[in-house]
Amino acid sequence: MGKRIYRFISNLLLLLSSFLVLLYYSPLKFRWPLAVLVELWPYCGVIPLLGVVLILSKSDLRKHLVRVAGATLLLVLIWAPTLSWVGLPSPGESASGLRVMASNIWIDNSNTDAIAQSIQDQNPDILLLSEISSSMMTEMQS
């Protein structure tokens, strides 16, 4: 009975992972109901991770090479876009080229000193501030 439950759960996780891969790499992902799921993409990466952990932790499931390879492939396909979104840091490299800074100030924010300090620390070539009041803009122009 226990082996059947683990097999069922792992099959369900592999099926969900396959659906997520098809969803993300499909041209239909920009349609309204599917776009909401794509916004949750980094959180959906937990599903194939659970599948790989379950398959590798149970010896009777680990024996199936196709299941292990499929789960690993799905894990890589789901996490690859997330890693490319985040980007991998390169320690020691300084930024070159045009530096752009965008910040949502929030119109009721009154802490202009912290905002000005952040802008001075980053020293951007192009600055985009959204939700900024005209009084705060006048105050921060210096």
Helix (H, G, I), strand (E, B) or coil at 101: strand
Q: What is the pTM of this model?
A: 0.48
Helix 2-24 to helix 32-39 angle (10° resolution) is 110
Give the burial class of 20: count Cβ atoms within 10 A of its Cβ; 0-12 exposed, 13-18 middle, 19 or more buried. Answer: buried
Q: If we measure between CA atoms, which residue out of 134, 131, 136 comes closest to residue 112?
A: 136
- At residue 103's C-alpha, the angle toward residues 101 and 107, to 5°, is 150
Per-residue pLDDT in tens (0 to 9) along the chain, 142 residues: 577 887 787 778 778 888 877 777 777 767 777 777 767 766 777 777 777 787 778 777 777 777 778 778 877 877 777 666 656 555 656 656 788 888 888 777 777 788 888 888 888 888 888 888 788 778 777 6
